């Protein structure tokens, strides 16, 4: 029997703006939904599209500080330029604008709703495309992120006694999520990302493995620039997949940022739809109750293609590789010229690839030495 799946979408996701010069464009949410609709993916049997409500302040307070939330509300209510760098607000990275708090609460509410659908309403998979704000800290905005929807949703799952795997395949390390669960063995946090050596947020190295009860439950695979499809799949197959299977969580939450793609303007990885789709198919095969969220991606057509592919894979649908004609008409208005949904598998140039290969093999060896004995142990499965 086909599993029940849920897509979280609101037209209000695209109502606000970080500013014309800011790399984060909210139009990507509308483009992703329109591409899904053009492929017929919003009307499949067994699927349902849900609107969402803003998250409650009670839920926000499971992670964020009252003073930070009060400052967000204050700035959100004004149309005058504001800044408070103690809270990471008002700089070029995290601009403030009227309605900011309401907008951030809406996306966060979508992730909380997705977790509820999976744990309480019989859905196998729920995907909130407006989630994935993994850089937000308890009392500070960071990396375009104001509220950490992933942490808040996971806190709700922990209250229900669930054990959670959080997997992040965004190009940027999930520093806010890692920070929240660094001392917990109830959340296994795995991040495969571009190395923070010369890249935001400057964290996510192999030595960051957790503390106390959480030692061994934070896993980081930093990738060198020019990491290509084969190396991305290698990192997933040799680290993430066996650890997720061994931990055997009650719920899996994945952040599916598309800024790993080789044409993204802010990153230096060389990933395509080939390895992105491969990872999603492997995740679905685990048959773990699955909450998925969006994330980064600064070339809007890449985001639309990636999340449409993700939603198709979640529903077991095969898509024709050429983008539908109605969608091509839409993207021409924005100046996008790409006409294909799928990319061919990409190989980086030999010298670049060899350096990236050496780096990922070193990372895998370190993780196998420090992490695998904790999670996999002698019996291939962590005890419950």
CA distances from 120 to 123, 126, 289 (A): 8, 12, 11
- Helix ranges restricted to H, 160-263: 175-180, 229-235, 241-247
The one catalytic residue in 22, 37, 134, 135 is: 135
Annotation says 137 is catalytic:
no
Contact of 271 with 182, CB cutoff 8 Å: no
d(CA 170, CA 154): 18
Contact of 67 with 139, CB cutoff 8 Å: yes
Shortest CA distance to 68 belongs to which of 180, 147, 178? 147
d(CA 77, CA 69): 12
The CB density around residue 91, as the number of other CB atoms within 10 Å, is: 12
Percent of the chain as helix, strand, coil, to the nearest 5: 40, 15, 45
290-293 and 5-8: which strand pairing? unpaired
Q: 173: which 2 tokens?
A: 């390390």
Contact of 316 with 150, CB cutoff 8 Å: no
- Please give the positions annotated as active site: 135
């Amino acid at each position: 029997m086909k599993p029940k799946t849920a897509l979280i979408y609101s037209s209000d996701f695209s109502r606000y703006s970080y500013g014309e010069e800011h790399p984060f464009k909210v139009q990507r949410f509308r483009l992703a939904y329109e591409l899904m609709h053009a492929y017929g993916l919003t009307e499949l049997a067994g699927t349902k599209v849900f609107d969402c409500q803003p998250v409650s302040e009670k839920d926000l307070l499971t992670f964020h500080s009252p003073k930070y939330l009060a400052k967000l509300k204050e700035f959100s209510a004004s149309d005058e330029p504001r800044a408070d760098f103690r809270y990471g607000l008002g700089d070029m990275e995290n601009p403030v604008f009227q309605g900011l708090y309401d907008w951030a609460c809406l996306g966060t509410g979508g992730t909380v709703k997705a977790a509820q659908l999976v744990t309480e309403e019989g859905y196998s998979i729920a995907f909130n495309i407006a989630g994935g704000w993994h850089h937000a800290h308890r009392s500070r905005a960071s990396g375009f992120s104001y509220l950490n929807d992933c942490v808040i949703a996971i806190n709700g799952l922990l209250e229900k006694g669930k054990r959670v795997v959080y997997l992040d395949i965004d190009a940027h390390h999930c520093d806010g999520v890692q920070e929240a669960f660094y001392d917990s063995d109830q959340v296994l946090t795995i991040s495969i990302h571009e190395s923070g050596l010369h890249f935001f947020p400057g964290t996510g190295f192999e030595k960051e493995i957790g503390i106390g009860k959480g030692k061994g439950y934070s896993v980081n695979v930093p990738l060198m620039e020019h990491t290509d499809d084969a190396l991305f799949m290698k990192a997933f197959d040799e680290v993430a997949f066996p650890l997720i299977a061994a931990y055997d969580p009650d719920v899996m939450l994945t952040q599916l940022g598309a800024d790993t793609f080789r044409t993204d303007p802010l990153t230096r990885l060389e990933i395509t739809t080939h390895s992105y789709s491969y990872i999603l198919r492997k995740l679905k095969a685990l048959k773990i109750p699955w909450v998925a969220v969006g994330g980064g991606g600064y070339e809007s057509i890449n985001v639309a293609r990636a999340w449409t592919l993700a939603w198709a894979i979640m529903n077991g649908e095969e898509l024709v590789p050429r983008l539908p004609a109605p969608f091509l008409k839409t993207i021409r208005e924005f100046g996008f010229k790409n006409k294909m949904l799928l990319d061919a598998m990409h190989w980086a140039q030999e010298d670049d690839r060899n350096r990236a290969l050496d780096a990922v093999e070193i990372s895998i060896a370190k993780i196998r030495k420090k992490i695998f004995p904790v999670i996999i142990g002698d019996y291939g499965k962590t005890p419950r």
